Amino acid sequence: MVSMNTNQIEGLIGMVAVLGILVLLVLPSVFGIVRDRRIDRQLREAQETADEEPAQKSSSRSTVPSTATWYAEGRRSKKLVSS
C-alpha cells in the first residue's frame, strides 16, 4: 500500500485546486463558442431555406394602421407642436 506524506498531500490538493480554477476560467469561453456555433448553424439553415422558397406574394388588400399606430402618431405630432 502506498502512503503519502503531508507534503505530497498538500501538493495534490494544490494541483487539484489549480485545475479547478482553470476549469472555472475556461468554461464560460467554451459555452460561448458552443452558443456561437449553434447560432451560426441556425442562421445558415435559415438562409438556405429562404433561398429555396419562392418569394411570398404581397397581399392585394390595403393595410390599415392599427389603433396603437394611430395613437402613437397622434402623440408624436402633439409632442412636436407643444415643444
Domain locations along the chain: 21-48
Pick 27 or 68 by higher pLDDT. 27
Opening angle at CA 54, ends 63 and 41, nearest 5: 105
pTM of the model: 0.48
Q: What is the pLDDT of residues 48-65, one digit of tens each?
A: 988 887 666 666 666 666
Q: Using an 8 Å Cβ cutoff, are 15 and 7 in contact? A: no
Predicted confidence band of residue 81 (pLDDT cuts 50, 70, 90)? low
pLDDT at 6: 93
Predicted confidence band of residue 12 (pLDDT cuts 50, 70, 90)? very high
> Across all residues in the chain, what is the average pLDDT?
82
DSSP 8-class letter at 61: S
Match 494541483 to its residue by C-alpha cell: 15
Cα 13 to Cα 7: distance, rounded to the nearest angstrom: 10
pLDDT at 69 over 90: no
Cα 22 to Cα 15: distance, rounded to the nearest angstrom: 11
